[in-house]
Structure formats: C-alpha cells, structure tokens
Amino acid sequence: MSTPIRIRRALVSVSDKSNLDRLAKMLVDCKVEVLSTGGTYRALSELGVAVEKVSDYTGAPEILGGRVKTLHPRIHGGILAAPTAEHDAERERHDIPAIDLVVVNLYPFREVVADPGCDLARAVENIDIGGPTMVRAAAKNAARVAVIVDPADYERVAAALVEHDGAVPQSLRRELARKAFAHTAAYDAAIASYLAGQAQDEPGESGADAAPPVFFTGGARQGTLRYGENPHQEAGLYEVIGEAGEAPGLPRAIVHQGKALSYNNLLDADAALAIIRDLQPMGLAAAVFKHASPCGAAVGRPGDSLAEVYRRAREADAESAFGGIVSLSTEVDAATAELLAETFIEVVIAPGYAAAARELLARKKNLRVLELPGMFASGPSPWRVRSVAGGVLVQREDVMHVGAAKARVATKRAPTPEELADLEIAWRVAKHVRSNAIVLAKDGVTVGIGGGQTSRVEASRQAAGRAGKLAQGAVLASDGFFPFRDGVDAAVAAGVRAVIQPGGSMRDEEVIAAADEHGIAMLLTGERHFRH
C-alpha cells in the first residue's frame, strides 16, 4: 500500500535511551497515544509524555519477573493487523486498536557478555524475547506499521511526520523494516555465537576453540568507504562484536583527523595493528606497513625514546615507507609527531596522543590519525574470516606460543644474548610477512624483509638484497622450515650469524649440519607462522 497512514498509536520499549528526549518531543507534537513498559514508561513520563502502561492496556500483568510483558494478542494483533477491511473488522470485534509505530531496541546482550565477569545465567537473562517479537512483527507489517530500532532514526521519522501530515511514507517504512530485520538477525547471531563459545563446558561438545558447526558473522555498518580495493568497487566497514575480553579492533578506533579511510587503508592499518601487538611486549616498538606487508619494525633499546624507535623503523626501508601506515606501541609525544610529519604517510595508529602531538599532526590535514584505547588488552584470540568462491574460511587468529627464548638450540653454537634479542624481533615480524617469509634483523630493527616468494631461497636473497651491507652480523627468521640447505648457504653468504625457524623438514639434519659447518646458531621453534 502506498497511501501514508497517520501515526495514532505507538508502542515504545527501549533499552538504549539515547535521544529519548527527541522521541518524546515527536510523540507529543504529533499527539500520538503511547504504550510502554518498565523503565521506558518512567523515562517517557518524566519527559512529559502521556503514556499508558502496557499491563493496563492489555489487562494482563507483567509476570515471571518481567519475562512476559508484551506477549499478548492486544499488542501483537494491533501490530500485525494488515490495512484491509477484513482485518479492521476483526480488530473491532476483539477490541484491538491498531498500533502504527513500534519503537524498540533490545536488551544489551552483546554488551553484557562482553563483560569478562558475565556468566551463563546472566547472559540468558539478557536474551530479549518480547522485543525481537515486536520488532519482527512490525517489520513484517511495514505495509502499515513503522518500526524504529536505532535512536539515530528519530530525527528522520520526526521530519517525515511533519512533511507528511503525521504519516510515515512507504519508502521510509520499508527502509526501517529492512534495518529492523538486520538488527534482530545480528542480535540472534550474537546469541548463537556466545552459546557456541560455552560448548567447552558441555559433555560431547568439541570446545570453544574448535570451528563451530554453524558460523555467524555480521555487524553494524560504521560507514561506507570511498571505494574498495579499486575505485569501481563499493565497500563498507562493519563492526562485529567479539568475544568477552577480546581486544578492540579498528571499528572502535577514534579518528581524530584526515581524509576518509579507504578499504586499503583499513587492511593495512589492521595488519599494522597486529604486528605492534606482537612487538609491544618487548618494549617500545614501531612498525611501518605498506600493501599489507611490513617495511620496517624496531624495538627500543635501553634509553631509547619512542621517536628514536620510530625513526629506526622508518629508515629500515625509507623508500617503501613513503605512503605507508605506521603503528606505535605507546602514547605519541611531540618529538615523535615531528618525525611522523616529516614523511608522507597515510595512517598512524597508537593507543593515545599527547596534546602537543595532536597539534603538530593537525598540520598534516590529510593524515588519518587513529587512536585505539585498550589496543593491547589481553583476551581470547578472535576468529578471522576470509571469503572464497561460494563460502568463507574461518580460523582463530594466529597466536605465537613459542618465541626465541623458548626455542630449541639445534646447533653446536648457541646464540649470544644480543642475537637472541634480535631473533625474537625477527621471528615476531616474520609472522606478519607474506609467505614465503624471511626477515633479517640487527640491533633491534629489521634490516631486510623478503616475502611473497614462491621459493624460500629466493625470499632469502630478496631480504639480503634489501639489507645490503647491514646483513653482516644480522640474524634471520623464516616463517617455515628450510626444505634444503641452500637457504642457509645464501643467508650465511650475506653475513647472517644466527637463524630461527620452525623445523620439521625431512632434511632438518642436513640444514642443521650446514649451520654447524658455517659456525652459526640455529633455533627451532616447532611452530610455523605462514601468512597467505
């Protein structure tokens, strides 16, 4: 039906009471009869709305501790009645007035389960039943009923009521209905995902870390992007609610300034965020990314400032750093901001910024400055999702369990303490380089990175070529085992003095023997970190 239907009666029940004053003004101005429950009833009354309790309207009290409030034929008949003569007559026979507007948002289930202290009983009590039922009923009947699930839409609906003499036009009703179904779908997915995570406590279940038999993904759009990987592709950013205690991702970042973030900016920033999370436990750290690959990374030595650490990371490959993405492990100070402003970079992300740093960076108007409080929070590793034709691949985030300090010394010579520290940096960085990946490090900074090669020995040559003379005395990390000794031979020829790798090749003994022959140290982690 295309004829606008005037809003005469509304049912309002909201957990999120933001902008409620604007909704109240709209209801009063349009002389809408209002039904409500509980806290929403009290809040609307305090805002001057003449509101009737649902229990008085239905003649049925709230029961079961509030679990049943709106599940009543007088409510759902009023919402679901189609705009037909037959339904109008039936409503009249049963004394069911029409409800033309439903304003409902749901119990804060996702927020509650995000609390590390939440248990299953508390989670279950925050599963909304009446709310989704009303939302779905109203959205199904968008031919007559308008439904609002987002407080940000109050202004739009209020403007429509003024423009259309107290009615919501069909086009807006349909748009609101689509949004409502997306809202309830995401809500149910969050519940299903949470309950899947509780499977570890159930006999016969595979456990929370196993890939679930059904995987849900979805979230609220944080905004449309200028374009995707290329200008002709449309794209958007959506926030997916993670598990309780999970460290925040980029959708939670505060964007202080700069041009709108692009699809590629976000991919690179996500990669830069991941590497700084791995390096931060070692001390002050900085990393520069370009095209989803690290250009340079550095960890501070005793007495180093953040500015010095960033400078070393940038100079590791200054040419590639141009137009890159920078991640930093601590609050950015003025000295670091001055260095950031020296080079053209697209994005900088850090846990905070001093006021003086913000002022300096503001001069670079196109630079996107992202702040992510709590970016180093510990918690469960998130699920990572990638698409393939006709489906999706899902896996847990790659977590490093074995570092250089825990690796097995396989050679006659053990690494020196200085080599061990550099091996740790190289190993952590290699985890973020496209496989086959080789990383050379020296004195706390990467000096050569080779990645994305079909041959590991070629990746070794690439890393050594980038390092040049700096390869002398450097250490090497490989994300996978060496299938032949030629990779070790190439590394030693470049000047490498110690190697860390997973091991596990059929020719491990041959590779270790080559290391002993050259007098270098080799560590085996027993854990690989491919990145495809």
Cβ-proximal residues to 279 (8 Å cutoff; 6+ apart), any chain: 285, 287, 297, 299, 329, 425, 428, 429
Confidence at residue 299, expressed as pLDDT on a 0 to 100 scale: 95
Task: For residues 49 and 36, give the distance between their C-alpha atoms in angstroms, rounded to a whole number.
Answer: 11
Q: Which segments of the chain belong to CATH 3.40.140.20?
A: 248-371, 404-524
Selection from 24-38, 59-73, 136-150 with the highest mean pLDDT:
136-150
Which position among 87, 140, 164, 256 bears the catalytic label? 140
Residue with the two structure tokens 């501790």? 65
- CATH code of 248-371, in short, is 3.40.140.20
Distance of CA 312 to the CA centre of its chain: 29
The CA-atom distances, in angstroms, between 112 and each of 119, 191, 198 are 10, 11, 15
Confidence of residue 336 (pLDDT cuts 50, 70, 90): very high
Per-residue pLDDT reduced to its tens digit, 250-259: 888 889 999 8
CATH for 404-524 is 3.40.140.20
Considering only 2-11, 92-101, 136-145, which range has the smallest mean pLDDT?
2-11
Task: Kindly give the interhelix angle for 130-140 and 73-80, rounded to the nearest 10 degrees.
Answer: 30
Confidence of residue 391 (pLDDT cuts 50, 70, 90): confident
Q: Is 69 a catalytic residue?
A: no
CB contact at 8 A, 5 and 161: no
Question: pLDDT grade, residue 530 (50/70/90)?
Answer: confident
Convert the pLDDT of each residue in 210-241 to its tens digit. Answer: 666 666 666 667 777 888 888 888 888 877 76
Residue 16, pLDDT score: 84
Pairing of strands 167-168, 438-442: unpaired
pTM attached to this predicted model: 0.75
Tell me: pLDDT of 151 over 60: yes
For residue 365, indicate whether it is catalytic: no
DSSP state of 153: G
| Mean pLDDT for all residues in the chain | 86
Q: What is the pLDDT of residues 472-518, one digit of tens each?
A: 999 999 998 988 888 889 889 999 999 999 999 999 999 999 999 99
Q: Assign 1 a pLDDT band (cuts: 50, 70, 90).
A: very low
Strands 285-290 and 324-328: antiparallel
Where do you find CATH 3.40.50.1380 in the chain?
5-195
Confidence class for position 166, pLDDT limits 50, 70, 90: confident
Average the pLDDT over 188-215 and give the result. Answer: 65
Give the range among 119-133, 273-287, 357-371 with minimum mean pLDDT.
119-133
> Which two tokens mark 414?
């053990």
- Please give the CATH superfamily to which domain 5-195 belongs: Methylglyoxal synthase-like domain (3.40.50.1380)
What's the rounded Cα separation, in Å, for the pair 52 and 128?
Answer: 22
Does residue 348 register a pLDDT over 90?
Answer: yes
Segment of 53-57, 111-115, 303-307 carrying the highest mean pLDDT: 303-307
